[in-house]
């Protein structure tokens, strides 16, 4: 407790020291030395995103390449408003402004794109394991309606992953990471610019025993692209990606297990070899062409995905084909900028469940379903700079989603559900000076449920297809970003009135909870996303000290619910603060101590009868650049080896659960030390 108090006091002192400058979101500023192609492309992305009247962020790979980056917690941890807490391997609980709370597992509530093409399936669900951090050039985060031009209509907005091309990365790049829990990861990249083409290719191989029992994983990921110029006015680029992932699952625990025996897992998980294995191949194209005063962008993609998912209750076996595309036209004329576009996503997924057979094969078939999803959206946005200091941004998106469910073993459960919605937005940016912006917006989000929520034939009660409603919300947001002297800041305050929010539960038939997802009638989601980047000290000898702080405040509640009144929603902490110092030395060594602090924990149920304890975790990384393009790092995680709970699977009323149903908690990973070396020939 004493060391924890010291850590918390250190964090508070740093936060208070910088609060006088501003409450702000971390912009992950990149120090540009020279004019490397990558630094330039990230800088351009930052300039573009700052035309958005709302909470946004750009993170270049320079911000996380000198550490063991595995999940969104590692790449987006210093972006306030992004709650990304690891469960195992690459799996995280991702929540942005309350969107994704209904997802106790996997991806939902946020549109995730890579090079303009969705990683989400046609219904909006997806797997984080299909993201290779080694090929991230930079990330763009658009919270809420700020993701409209990327086809995002959910409350969580969009995260856009941009991968390297031959013009934005080095010709050769090699890295190797190793460390605790028998972690090994190697990556090799090659890029070449030829006459009339350019090509980039990357392969990553990784394996780890994992911190917990039954957490072994290994993977091979391939990513490549080929670009061909279309004269002087455009380019067409083809992408190919392949994932082979084998991942054992440790599973959730009771509160007592998570805090006292966090590395353990259940005997059933081991006996049934509980795992989530993914094989996927993705082919896509992105073509841009200057037409008149603007640019046309056309995308198309196809991917095949197979999932083998042994669990204690049965073996999930799925295979699907998914395809889609989009088109957009953006043009600027004087003070006006117009963007028009549309997106189509479709998919056909065969979803089967077999009785468990110790994970070694298939027994009798329990379900055989066909899941077909279609998504169509058209959107338009107009930016009008009617005064040098003022820009008005208006937009609208019209959405049509279709879900068609066929139960091949029980035709009485066949069902179809269509969802139609409109998402308008109106925003304004005021620039009182070249260094600051003030912004405000109001918008409506629309999020249809995925088959994860709709198809509940895998539940013990077998309710089949549950005809849930789409989640809708009106959101108002105000904020500011910019610089004050040497301090970079951004702050957003938002409030969303939500109807029919999709909330996930732990199924408990005895407690009257027959399905895993329900619509809440009315909820209120509000919060503050703030942070600051500040130089603290510089010595003539070459020592510098800087500070980065990111604070997320979540106030998510039911609104006069007939069961839960005004209780808080489960699954995210009220406060999450991440504070990081960066000390650079004249000899090129960089030291980064970091504290992650959740002072009050999070509710585990909607009845608010069970809450996780708060925690503080200390991390420390050291990196340096050596000669001949070689860089090395050492990354220490949870150095005080704190036992804490990082994520929960929400239940309706935890106090009413039988003891066998109380495994709702995911322990935070214990102490780990990782090391890495990167070689960029000629750098």
**Cα 458–chain centre separation:** 26
pLDDT digits (tens, 9 = 90+) for 115-149: 988 999 999 999 988 999 999 999 999 998 888 88
Tell me how far apart the alpha carbons of residues 529 and 55 are, in angstroms, rounded to a whole number.
8
Quote the tokens at residue 114: 């890579």
pLDDT digits (tens, 9 = 90+) for 505-524: 765 555 555 567 889 999 99
Tell me how far apart the alpha carbons of residues 366 and 357 are, in angstroms, rounded to a whole number.
13
Tell me how far apart the alpha carbons of residues 62 and 326 are, in angstroms, rounded to a whole number.
30
Tell me how far apart the alpha carbons of residues 84 and 252 are, in angstroms, rounded to a whole number.
17
pLDDT at residue 601 in the model? 92
Pairing of strands 158-162, 111-114: parallel
User: Buried b / exposed e across 3-15, counting CB within 10 Å, b at 16+?
Assistant: ebeebbebbeebb
- Cβ burial of 382 (10 Å; 0-12, 13-18, 19+) is middle
Find the helix or strand (DSSP H, E) in which 282 lies.
strand 277-291
Find the helix or strand (DSSP H, E) in which 424 lies.
strand 415-433
Nearest to 141 by CA among 130, 127, 152, 129: 152
Q: Is the pLDDT of residue 65 over 50?
A: yes
Nearest to 204 by CA among 218, 220, 190, 223: 220
Pairing of strands 365-387, 336-354: antiparallel
What is the rounded (10 degree) CA torsion for 123, 60, 164, 299? 30
Decide: 348 and 372 in contact? Cβ < 8 Å: yes
Tell me how far apart the alpha carbons of residues 303 and 119 are, in angstroms, rounded to a whole number.
10
pLDDT digits (tens, 9 = 90+) for 309-356: 998 888 999 999 999 999 999 999 999 999 999 999 999 999 999 988
The mean pLDDT value for 249-261 works out to 94
Nearest to 466 by CA among 477, 478, 457: 457
Which residues does 434 contact at the CB level (< 8 Å), separation at least 6?
Answer: none
Residue 499 lies in domain: 2-679
| φ/ψ (deg, to 5) at 312 | -70, -30
Nearest to 274 by CA among 365, 352, 361, 359: 359
Coil/strand/helix, residue 260: helix
Tell me how far apart the alpha carbons of residues 114 and 128 are, in angstroms, rounded to a whole number.
12
Q: Kindly report the average pLDDT of the chain as a whole number.
A: 89
Q: What is the largest CA-CA distance in the chain?
A: 78
Identify the band that residue 17 occupies on the pLDDT scale cut at 50, 70 and 90.
very low
The mean pLDDT value for 579-590 works out to 96
pLDDT digits (tens, 9 = 90+) for 610-648: 999 999 999 999 999 999 999 999 999 999 999 999 999
Tell me how far apart the alpha carbons of residues 610 and 612 are, in angstroms, rounded to a whole number.
7
The mean pLDDT value for 148-159 works out to 91
pLDDT digits (tens, 9 = 90+) for 539-553: 999 999 999 999 999
pLDDT at residue 361 in the model? 56
Tell me how far apart the alpha carbons of residues 502 and 521 are, in angstroms, rounded to a whole number.
10
Tell me how far apart the alpha carbons of residues 344 and 663 are, in angstroms, rounded to a whole number.
39
Residue given tokens 């409350």 in the structure block: 155
Q: Identify the DSSP state of 644.
A: -
| φ/ψ (deg, to 5) at 10 | -60, -45
Identify the band that residue 378 occupies on the pLDDT scale cut at 50, 70 and 90.
very high
Percent of the chain that is helix, strand, coil (3-state, to 5):
10, 55, 35
Identify the band that residue 18 occupies on the pLDDT scale cut at 50, 70 and 90.
very low
Number of domains the chain is built from: 1
Quote the tokens at residue 538: 């510089």
Residue 356 has a CB neighbour count (10 Å cut-off) of 22
Identify the band that residue 366 occupies on the pLDDT scale cut at 50, 70 and 90.
confident
Q: Is the pLDDT of residue 589 over 70?
A: yes
Quote the tokens at residue 585: 């030395």
* pTM strictly above 0.85: yes
Residue 71 has a CB neighbour count (10 Å cut-off) of 22
CATH, residue 310? 2.40.170.20
């Amino acid at each position: 407790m004493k060391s924890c108090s010291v850590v918390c006091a250190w964090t508070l002192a740093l936060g208070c020291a910088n609060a006088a400058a501003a409450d702000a979101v971390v912009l992950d500023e990149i120090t540009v030395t020279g004019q490397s192609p990558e630094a330039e492309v990230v800088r351009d992305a930052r300039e573009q995103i700052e035309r958005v009247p709302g909470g946004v962020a750009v993170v270049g790979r320079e911000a996380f390449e000198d550490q063991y980056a595995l999940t969104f917690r590692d790449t987006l941890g210093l972006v306030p408003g992004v709650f990304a807490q690891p469960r195992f391997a690459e799996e995280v609980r991702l929540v942005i402004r309350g969107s994704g709370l209904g997802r106790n597992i996997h991806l939902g509530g946020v549109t995730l794109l890579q090079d303009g093409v969705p990683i989400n399936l046609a219904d909006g669900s997806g797997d984080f394991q299909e993201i290779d951090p080694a090929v991230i050039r930079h990330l763009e985060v658009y919270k809420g309606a700020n993701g409209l031009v990327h086809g995002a209509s959910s409350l969580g907005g969009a995260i856009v992953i941009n991968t390297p091309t031959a013009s934005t990365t080095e010709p050769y790049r090699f890295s190797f990471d190793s460390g605790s829990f028998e972690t090994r990861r190697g990556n090799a990249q090659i890029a070449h610019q030829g006459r009339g083409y350019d090509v980039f290719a990357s392969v990553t191989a990784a394996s780890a025993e994992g911190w917990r029992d039954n957490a072994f994983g290994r993977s091979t990921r391939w990513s490549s692209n080929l670009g061909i110029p279309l004269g002087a006015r455009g380019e067409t680029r083809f992408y190919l990606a392949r994932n082979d992932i084998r991942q054992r699952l440790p599973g959730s625990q009771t509160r007592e297990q998570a805090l006292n025996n966090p590395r353990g897992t259940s005997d059933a998980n081991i006996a049934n070899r509980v795992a989530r294995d993914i094989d996927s191949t993705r082919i896509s194209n992105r073509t841009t062409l200057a037409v008149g005063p603007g640019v046309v962008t056309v995308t198309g993609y196809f991917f095949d995905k197979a999932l083998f998912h042994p669990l204690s209750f049965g073996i999930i076996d799925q295979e699907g084909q998914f395809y889609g595309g989009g088109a957009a036209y953006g043009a600027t004329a004087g003070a006006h900028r117009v963007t028009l576009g549309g997106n189509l996503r479709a998919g056909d997924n065969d979803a089967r469940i077999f009785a468990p057979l110790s994970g070694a094969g298939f027994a009798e078939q329990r379900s055989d379903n066909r899941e077909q999803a279609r998504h169509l959206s058209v959107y338009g946005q107009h930016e009008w700079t009617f005064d040098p200091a003022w820009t008005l941004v208006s937009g609208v998106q019209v959405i049509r989603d279709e879900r068609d469910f066929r139960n091949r073993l029980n035709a009485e459960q066949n069902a179809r559900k269509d969802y139609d919605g409109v998402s308008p937005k109106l925003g304004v940016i005021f620039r009182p000076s070249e260094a600051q912006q003030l912004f405000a917006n109001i918008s409506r989000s629309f999020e249809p449920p995925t088959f994860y929520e709709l198809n509940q034939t895998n539940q013990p009660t077998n309710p089949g297809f549950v005809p849930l409603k789409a989640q809708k919300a009106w959101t108002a947001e105000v904020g500011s970003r910019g610089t004050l002297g040497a301090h970079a800041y951004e702050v957003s305050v938002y409030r969303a009135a939500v109807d029919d929010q999709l909330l996930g539960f732990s199924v408990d038939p005895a407690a009257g909870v027959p399905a895993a997802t329900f619509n809440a009638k009315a909820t209120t989601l509000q919060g503050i996303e703030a942070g600051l980047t500040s130089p603290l000290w510089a010595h003539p000898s070459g020592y510098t000290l800087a500070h980065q702080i990111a604070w997320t405040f979540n106030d998510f509640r039911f609104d006069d619910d007939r069961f839960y009144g005004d209780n808080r929603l489960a699954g995210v902490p009220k406060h999450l603060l991440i504070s990081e110092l960066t000390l650079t030395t004249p000899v090129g060594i960089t030291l980064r101590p970091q504290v992650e602090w959740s002072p009050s924990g999070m509710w585990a149920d909607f009845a608010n009868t069970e809450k996780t304890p708060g925690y503080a975790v200390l991390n420390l990384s050291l990196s340096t650049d050596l000669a001949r393009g070689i860089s090395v790092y050492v990354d220490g995680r949870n150095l005080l080896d704190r036992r804490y709970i990082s994520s929960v699977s929400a239940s309706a009323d935890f106090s009413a659960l039988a003891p066998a149903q109380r495994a709702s908690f995911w322990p935070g990973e214990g102490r780990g030390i990782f090391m890495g070396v990167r070689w960029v020939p000629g750098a």
